[in-house]
């Protein structure tokens, strides 16, 4: 069946049959035009990004309704007041997409959209990432791969629903291909489809799908069962944040 001595041969014979992607995709496109960059240039670029980011934040600050992308400290006026978590009350409000969510005082919004985060997904209208990590910790984890879900971060996504039901969305995400636990719950008085499935041997995806007319609101996070996240984040913390969402 698989005697010890022939294992190598069996591995080679079988794995050598696995299909390869087109050769044009072997080298990542993002580095084909990259040139060596000096440390000084990196420092200057990082400083510029910080300065521009600060200027942009100050400019955007009075216009929350237009951007819907910053953390504010006042509760929603026309939705139930979100709860305060871990001794701090930090409310993110998206007027454009009609929700408000409360994050712990030491959490922040990780704005990755400006780097092209998720643009390859045509149905995606908005994605906001909430994290307990510092910008340095987040950068260290995600690096240049901005299409990654950082475990223990919370994502709120708004999609064009394209007529698909919550269950289809969950299956498309990976629920169907993996041993998936599903259920139904209520989030801010709206019915939600809940799914949870393993994404690697140690990480597990949790997602809440809420149909809102033509749109699909998805709250998702990845945990490492049996472990604690950065800065003491637990599954309970994430569930509390999900439970704090207020929908208009």
Partner 1 sequence: MTIDAGRWAELYRLEFPRVYRALLAVLRDRDRALDALHDAFVAGLRRPPAHDADLAGWLFVVAVRSARRGVRLPSFSLERVRGRSGAGDIDALLDRMEVGRLLAGLTERQRAMVVAQFYLGLDHREIAAHFGVKTGTVSATLAQAKARMRAEVRNAS
Contact positions vs partner 1 (CB under 8 A): 1-2, 7-8, 10-12, 14-21, 25-28, 30-31, 34, 118, 120-121, 123-124, 141-145, 147-151, 155, 159, 162, 164, 168-169, 171-174, 176-177, 199-203, 205, 222
Contact 109, 129 (CB under 8 A): yes
Of 21 and 213, which has the nearer Cβ to partner 1?
21
CB of 239 to partner 1, least distance (A): 19
CB of 14 to partner 1, least distance (A): 4
Of 30 and 226, which has the nearer Cβ to partner 1?
30
CB of 5 to partner 1, least distance (A): 11
Of 31 and 77, which has the nearer Cβ to partner 1?
31
How does strand 181-187 pair with strand 71-72?
A: unpaired
For the range 31-36, what are the long-range contacts, defined as Cβ-Cβ under 8 Å and sequence gap of 24 or more? none
Stated as kind and residue range, the H or E segment containing 192 is strand 190-198
Does residue 94 sit in helix, strand or coil? strand
β-partners of residue 131 are 108
CB of 156 to partner 1, least distance (A): 13
How does strand 154-160 pair with strand 99-103?
A: unpaired
β-partners of residue 212 are 215
Rounded Cα gap, residues 26 and 129, in angstroms: 30
For the range 175-181, what are the long-range contacts, defined as Cβ-Cβ under 8 Å and sequence gap of 24 or more? 175/207
Of 15 and 58, which has the nearer Cβ to partner 1?
15
CB of 132 to partner 1, least distance (A): 15
Alpha-carbon separation of residue 6 from 2, 18, 86 (angstroms)? 7, 19, 57
Of 142 and 187, which has the nearer Cβ to partner 1?
142
CB of 8 to partner 1, least distance (A): 5
Of 11 and 57, which has the nearer Cβ to partner 1?
11
Of 13 and 59, which has the nearer Cβ to partner 1?
13
CB of 55 to partner 1, least distance (A): 29
Rounded Cα gap, residues 70 and 103, in angstroms: 12
Rounded Cα gap, residues 207 and 191, in angstroms: 13
């Amino acid at each position: 069946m698989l005697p010890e001595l022939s294992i190598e041969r069996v591995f080679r014979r079988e794995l050598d049959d696995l299909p390869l992607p087109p050769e044009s995709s072997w080298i990542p496109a993002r580095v084909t035009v990259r040139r060596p960059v000096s440390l000084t240039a990196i420092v200057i670029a990082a400083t510029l990004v910080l300065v521009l980011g600060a200027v942009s934040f100050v400019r955007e600050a009075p216009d929350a309704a237009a951007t819907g992308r910053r953390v504010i400290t006042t509760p929603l006026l026309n939705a139930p007041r979100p709860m305060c978590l871990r001794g701090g009350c930090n409310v993110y409000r998206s007027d454009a997409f009609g929700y408000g969510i409360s994050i712990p005082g030491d959490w922040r919004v990780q704005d990755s959209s400006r780097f092209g985060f998720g643009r390859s997904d045509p149905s995606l209208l908005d994605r906001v990432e909430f994290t307990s990590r510092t910008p340095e910790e987040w950068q260290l984890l995600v690096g240049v791969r901005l299409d990654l879900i950082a475990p223990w971060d919370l994502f709120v996504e708004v999609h064009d629903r394209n007529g698909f039901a919550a269950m289809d969305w969950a299956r498309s995400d990976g629920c169907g291909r993996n041993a998936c636990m599903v259920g139904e719950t209520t989030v801010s008085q709206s019915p939600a489809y809940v799914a949870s499935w393993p994404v690697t041997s140690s990480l597990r995806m949790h997602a809440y799908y809420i149909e809102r007319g033509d749109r699909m609101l998805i709250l998702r996070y990845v945990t490492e069962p049996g472990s604690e996240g950065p800065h003491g984040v637990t599954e309970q913390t994430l569930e509390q944040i999900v439970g704090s969402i207020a929908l208009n």
